[in-house]
Structure 1
Amino acid sequence: MTADVTIERIVHPDILSCAPDTPLSVAAQRMVAARCSSILVMDKGAIVGIWTEHDVLALDASDPSTFLAPISKHMTSPVKTIHVATGLGEAALRFREEKVRHFLAVDDTGACKGIVTQTDIVLNQGIEYYLSLREVNAVLNRRVPLVASHLSLGEAVHTMRDSRTDAIVVVYPDGSHGILTERDVMRLVGANKPSTNVGELASRPLITVAVNASLYHARSEFTARHIRHLGVTGTDGELLGLVTFSDILASIEHDYVHQLRETLKDREHSLALSLQHQRLATKVFESTLEGIVVTNAQRIIESVNPAFTQITGYKAHEVIGQTPAMLSSGRHDATFYQKMFDELAVNGHWQGEIWNRRRSGEVYPEWLTINTVRNEEGEIVNYVGVFADITKRKAAEEQMQFLAYHDGLTGLPNRGLFLDRLHHAVSHAHRNHTIVAVMFIDVDNFKPINDTLGHHIGDQLLQTVAQRLVASVREADTVARLGGDEFTIILESIADAGDVPLVAQKIVDTVSQPMRIDGHDITTTVSVGLSLYPIDSEHAEDLIRHADMAMYMSKKGGRNNYRFFTADMKQLVSERPVAA
């Protein structure tokens, strides 16, 4: 968040206006056509009022004459103003304290310079990194009214006023959902059709995001689709509520605005406004948890904050006078940096994930935002980079990805990854005319050990068995845990089927070696069933079932042994449920 940037650079200079006697329906038509959320009312060249999308909810939508009333009867007057030299931080405070969405920006003479909105302010405070760390669930509104599609517009507007919300969800007879917003009501006012029911007016279908999606993803949906409301669904697809663009902005901004307000209150009696901004900027620079690096136009480092030192390990005197290239990890090529500089030149800012190197030599990921700073002549005088170390977040993402395909206890591939690798192994064997062996392994007498000595001992036993299985096969083979005390193994690229019994016997012998766990001497064995591709089947699922049947026969035959699948086993185990 940049404390010394003023609102002048984000003001919208092209304003929409109308005369005081303009009918509301005409004003609404112009707002819809211009995709504008407000219209200024001007009388003899002077701005006398403002009418916004939010004001439309105050109308009696059931009375056709309401839409023909002059805008002067429903406008807000006078229009609240803000000086174009106001900093973004102070502007954010004023929006929150005065509870408005629009300010008229004026200069020293009081001349109108344009309109600035609350959304404009927040979008220029660098919130993208924070959005990527939080989920939609954090700002979910579960108390959104649901109305039937046959409801009249007047009743719908009444519901929106009573619930103090700018949108309601419309439920259609087929169970689908739509959404009716202030902007939709504005569109109907412009069309002068007060009798229309909400089912005809609502936007349909309701665009949704998952409740566990990131706020950054939701913000991207808002921007890409030019909407301000999204439905939120649970894991089962059920509609849980709504999330709005303003909900996201308010949530992320809250802590920042609170800190800024307290800082300004402490100093407002002793400092001039300009000094307040200067000291606040210094405080933010020094105390923020994000690293900040400021360079000149030639990209020579001029200053860094304490968080820069904490993250990179470099002290200020070690980097001042150098270029940020000294932090390069070597993972990005010249094309990557050229695209970065090109975007900076065109847009004045760049943001994204980048890998840099600490003073210790460790390479780490960071989320970096770079902004250009220009003087009054439009010349670049500085580049300001703000970055956060996202090592922990990346590690958490990698861990989640690992757990999605691996067993949490042993770290072995789980059922999903095992099946994927088996299909791949069968395809490879088909092309190369080789053999694939599938082993289904069950730990003998595991339940008595687990029940007698406890689950803690049982878990360690399974971990030891897993280690012994991995040690008994080649690195290219796959050992997986399907659950409980069941393991599977894929032996790939076998040229001679005669080699498989040797591996199976090695597994039986290795697992049966005594083990000592938490002071207990434990000896366990395994029963192994085997099936071969393409001898027993050419389909992965059949190979698993056949190996499971063979394992059952091995266990039935006395355990601590292995059996190959034979066709007559299907009859012998026909009454036993077979694992997939």
Structure 2
Amino acid sequence: MVVTHTCGRGLPIVNTHEEFRAATRHDERRRVMSRTAHHSSTDTEPTPDSRTTESGHPLRGDLTALLLTARGRLPTTDYGIVLQDPSGAIVAWTPPAEEILNMTGDQMLGRTSVDPLWSTISGDGEPLLGENHPAMTVLRTRTPVTGTLMGVRRGRSAHLDYVWMIIDSYPVDVPGLPPSAITCFHVVEDEQTDRLRLQHSERMFRLITERLHEVVGLHGLDSTWLWASPSTVEVFGYTPDELMGLSTFDLILPSHLGAARSALASILDRLGPVTITLPVRHRSGSTRWVEVIGQLICDPAGRPYQVQSSFRDVTDRVTAQTERDAAVEVFTSILRTSPTGMMLVDATGRITLANDALRRLLGAPEDSRMTDMDILELVHPDSRDHVLSERAAIAADGHQSMRYQAMWSLRAQTATIWIESVTVPIRDGDGTLSAVLEQITDITAEKSAVAELRRRATRDAVTGLLNRDTFLVSVDDAIHASVDDDSHVAMIFVDVDHFKAINDTWGHHIGDAALRSIADRLSEAVGERGWIARYGGDEFAVAHPAAHDEVGAVVDTVSAVFDTPFTLSCDLTLEISASIGLAHERTDDATELVREADRAMYLVKQRRHDSTRTQDDLGR
């Protein structure tokens, strides 16, 4: 059976079962192209190179070798030809088909007319569904479809332009082959396709501009509106027709007319696209901010012809920026005039902004630069770990503000002061810490006052030794701590002999000087292991951890304090003696231990000599 088709310009293609087989063998011998068309039959074994599509079609690949044998009457130079199986999938093609469709054979193989890759429009410019393509119609009806004019967006192309083609599609009915369709197509360039291409471009332009929220406009060289997209209603409150013939400057607020005219002059001077943000008067009377991009359009001779523009409503953005700028101005004003030291520290700990009050607090010159300084450079080494932990807590815990105290080494490292910092974290939209605002107050005076109150509460005003209450608490703690080891607490009670005579003879200021000198010698003798208190007017208590065999040495050390005279003024040196009593942990109560040492001291005083008497001497 022989089926004769007319392809394109009336040139016949003759396909027969025997010609397909002969062409296949011919192509195998010559290997003209990289792929070979094969025909499998029951009486011919397939060659090792043969492949079939999923539909089982025996022809696949380049049709050139096959169709060159079709009596030599195929116009292969400018026609593309594809063979499609019953599902519409391309199984074979000619090289011109690859060139016309801008696709490789591998990219065409297996694709059907309904594949989303194809974008086609009919001769009247309307979208054409894949199932209505000529080949798909032929496969359904087994009736030729010829002379179809179609616009095809070629594969692997980002251009919106369509290539216009005349397409002929025919059924292929050959014994041994499944029902197929062969399609011939060639590119058409004439007045009709030029008109169709222009119509499509206009349609696409209208489609895009009608859906834009931005205003697209064309203007004369004096800014007169010549054309505008429909979004003028949304942006300006006027329809495009209402704007025609008006000057663009009529919409701009007077405060910015000078900037707008300068922008137009730059456009006409061919300085390229110019972008400017301007306030415009909306039809409702409100003010809108628009971002305008304008560029020059020239005629074919290169002369200025029109101005193309786009207007985008950026009112929300400008409002936010204005509010932010106002807040920054307020913050800067507060920072500049505040009597409190303030600084802005970034997430890495670098100071980015500092006010004059902080410089004064630091004792730094007003023209000194503090920016880019690491905050730890200000912090005393003893406070650095504390400051680092506080900053880590601010970053991690999401606190709104925190307060901490630290020591700073200030004033050219010549002094150390205490500061209190109130920190307010500044975070990005996702909650990440970007900076910290710190308000710094010098609390050195308060710290000193608190320390003085604490000292007065725990120390004797004349000698600086522990007072009675603090001494007893400390000794109680030491007694209870010694329960777990072999150490004991020796209590030594010292009463200065004839102290009243010193006051009466030389005055109380000499008496106070004597007490201070005795306290200094005791502190030096006892060291950091023991506790010393002024227990009464002329009485001292010394507690010292010591084993039984160490007690004598401790008492000798305390007694030696009085071996040398005391220089109390430039012209007064006195020999001072004392009576000393000892108790060595006969009780677990510090008050009782002092009381027993006091009794021992009085026994010594009664014998009227400088000696030491323990409770053992009392026969206990």
TM-score range, shorter chain: 0.3 to 0.5
Larger radius of gyration: 2
| More helix by percentage | 1
Which of the pair has the greater relative contact order for Cα pairs under 8 Å at 6+ separation? 1
TM-score (norm 1): 0.44
TM-score (norm 2): 0.41
